[in-house]
Amino acid sequence: MTAPQRPALLPLDEALSRLLAFATPALNPESVPVGDADGRVLAQNVVSSLHVPPHNNSYMDGYAVRCADIAASGVQLSVSQRIPAGSVGTPLQAGTAARIFTGAPVPTGADAVVMQEDCQAMPPADGADSRPQVQINTLPAAGQNIRRAGEDVARGDVVLSRGQRLGPAELGLAASIGMASLQVARRPRVALFSTGDELVMPGTVAPQDMPPGAIYNSNRFFLRTLLRRMGCVVSDLGIVPDQREATVQALREAAQSHDVILTSGGVSVGEEDHIKPAVQALGTLDLWQIAIKPGKPFAHGRIGEAHFIGLPGNPVSSFVTFLILVRPFLLRLQGARDVAMTTVAARADFTWAKADKRREFLRARRNAQGGLDLFPNQSSAVLTSTVWADGMVDNPPGCTIAPGDTVRFVPLSELQS
């Protein structure tokens, strides 16, 4: 009897495309203070109702002048007024200068600001004019050192776009146009649990007392942290026993109040892998064998309105598949436009002699010479590789790597925030 043929491995790009197609943004927007919106995704455009800056202002401390009054360097002008930031001067009289400070409005009539290093303060001149004097030791050009009204932002400009993920710079820009709150997508509610009778929580059993075959549950900790960094509201449901009834019950309860259920382990087809039949009993499931290494087994399904995502149990596999598949899915669920993984070209300072038929994500880090070193053990169970590395080499199927080759490098810092 001929054994059933295994389905072909799914290319990563196709798997990601399918997964993102399921992530129709459906999280209702909510208003949050600008100071609390870091990492959130905008639900509507932010339009400026004013110019930034609101008026012509000085780039630096110096003197506001009329260029027509300075025919040659060394000209002395009376200082008619002093304009600190936060105050407004009077129109500048011909033949005078205004002492001005960084950010202060440039008075009407002035068409340049001369930095104080190019000027020399002088005592009042003899005669009726008792005002202090300034000697201008350079020839100014019109517009010099003046920041024009609306130069940064013009009234009516869209300064931040719907689907943009907010960071420190974006929040500062929103504040600069007077926004006190922003409309952002609601945080995804994610239920997280692990499966496996071999799993033990740190602190419950001392290392020397660990029973044979037991391992500490590391996946739970890095997945929970990654989810929170993604802005998710996480319900940590702990470890579910390798029993079908317990798995069904955990999934049923999680689906009632969460947008996503994320599990690690139990997505293979072994006798003790109960996730697949449990999800199918409650909803629908697509079990994908993806052509990546590490991280081949991956599952997506629906239980009611909740998405189900099953990650492999090996820690590096779980870590990598979260970064390259789950992260963009969660961003798209919040309406984010840009979910693509960033790669940069880098020089390999290592040898990778064995080509694999799958697309590989090799843990590597940048060295002092500007190249990349490779962690010596690329096993999917070696979590130390993810701590040592500061990125991954995205190696296409069937490719070897020699020292000096240009490779695609994925910085981990961009995927873990």
* Gyration radius (Cα) of the chain, Å: 31
Strand-pairing partners, residue 75, are 136
| Nearest Cα residue to 333 out of 209, 186, 159, 120 | 186
Q: Which of 308, 333, 358 is the last residue of a domain?
A: 333
pLDDT score at 128: 61
Query: What pLDDT score does 291 carry?
Result: 95
CA torsion sign for 187, 257, 250, 277 is: negative
**Residue 180 sits in the same domain as residue 191:** no
The token duo for 145 is: 């050192």
CATH of the domain at 300: 3.40.980.10
pLDDT digits (tens, 9 = 90+) for 265-308: 866 555 456 788 899 999 999 888 999 999 988 999 999 999 99
In a domain, 300, yes or no: yes
389-392: which pairs have CB atoms within 8 A and are 24 or more residues apart? 389/363, 389/364, 389/365, 390/364, 390/365, 390/366, 391/364, 391/365, 391/366, 392/320, 392/361, 392/362, 392/363, 392/364
Looking at the fold, whether 78 and 127 belong to one and the same domain comes out as yes
* Residue 124 forms part of a structural domain: yes
Give a yes or no: residue 290 inside a domain.
yes
Distance (Å, rounded) from C-alpha 159 to C-alpha 153?
7
State whether 247 and 321 are in the same domain: yes
Distance, CA of 409 to CA of 407 (rounded, Å): 6
User: Which of 370, 416, 375, 367 shows the shortest CA–CA distance to 393?
Assistant: 375
Q: What is the pLDDT of residue 4?
A: 53
DSSP one-letter code for 233: E
Q: Is residue 339 part of a domain?
A: no
Q: Decide if 1 is inside a domain.
A: no
Q: What is the CATH number of the domain that holds 160?
A: 3.90.105.10
Does 306 lie in the same domain as 268?
Answer: yes
Residue 216 lies in a domain: yes
Task: Per residue of the chain (417 residues), give pLDDT as tens.
Answer: 455 566 689 999 999 999 999 998 778 899 999 999 999 999 999 999 999 999 999 999 999 999 999 999 999 999 999 999 999 999 999 999 999 999 999 999 999 999 999 999 998 877 666 889 999 999 999 999 999 999 999 999 999 999 999 999 999 999 999 999 999 999 999 999 887 778 888 888 888 888 888 888 888 999 999 999 999 999 998 888 878 888 899 999 999 999 999 998 866 555 456 788 899 999 999 888 999 999 988 999 999 999 999 999 899 999 999 999 999 999 999 999 999 999 999 999 999 999 999 999 999 999 999 999 999 999 999 999 999 999 999 999 999 999 999 999 999 998 998
Q: Do 97 and 34 have their domain in common?
A: no
Task: Report residue 286 CA to chain centroid gap.
Answer: 29
Residues 199 and 129 in one domain: no
Domain CATH for 366:
2.40.340.10
pLDDT for res 195: 77
Q: How far is CA 409 from CA 16, 74, 355, 392, in A?
A: 19, 57, 17, 6
Q: Are residues 214 and 272 in the same domain?
A: yes
177 and 207 belong to one structural domain: no
pLDDT digits (tens, 9 = 90+) for 128-168: 668 899 999 999 999 999 999 999 999 999 999 999 999 99
**Given this model, what pLDDT does residue 304 score?**
94
* One domain, residues 21 and 113: no
| Residues 314, 264 share a domain | yes
Kindly state whether residue 2 falls inside one of the protein's structural domains. no
Segment holding 362, helix H or strand E: strand 359-366
> How high is the pLDDT of residue 2?
52
Domain extent, residue 177, equals 29-52+151-185
User: Are residues 38 and 70 both part of a single domain?
Assistant: no
pLDDT in the model for residue 266: 67
**pLDDT for position 271:** 46
Same domain, 157 and 167: yes
Bond into 53 cis (ω within 30): yes
- Look at the chain and report how many structural domains it folds into: 4
In a domain, 5, yes or no: no
State the CATH number of the domain containing residue 131: 2.170.190.11
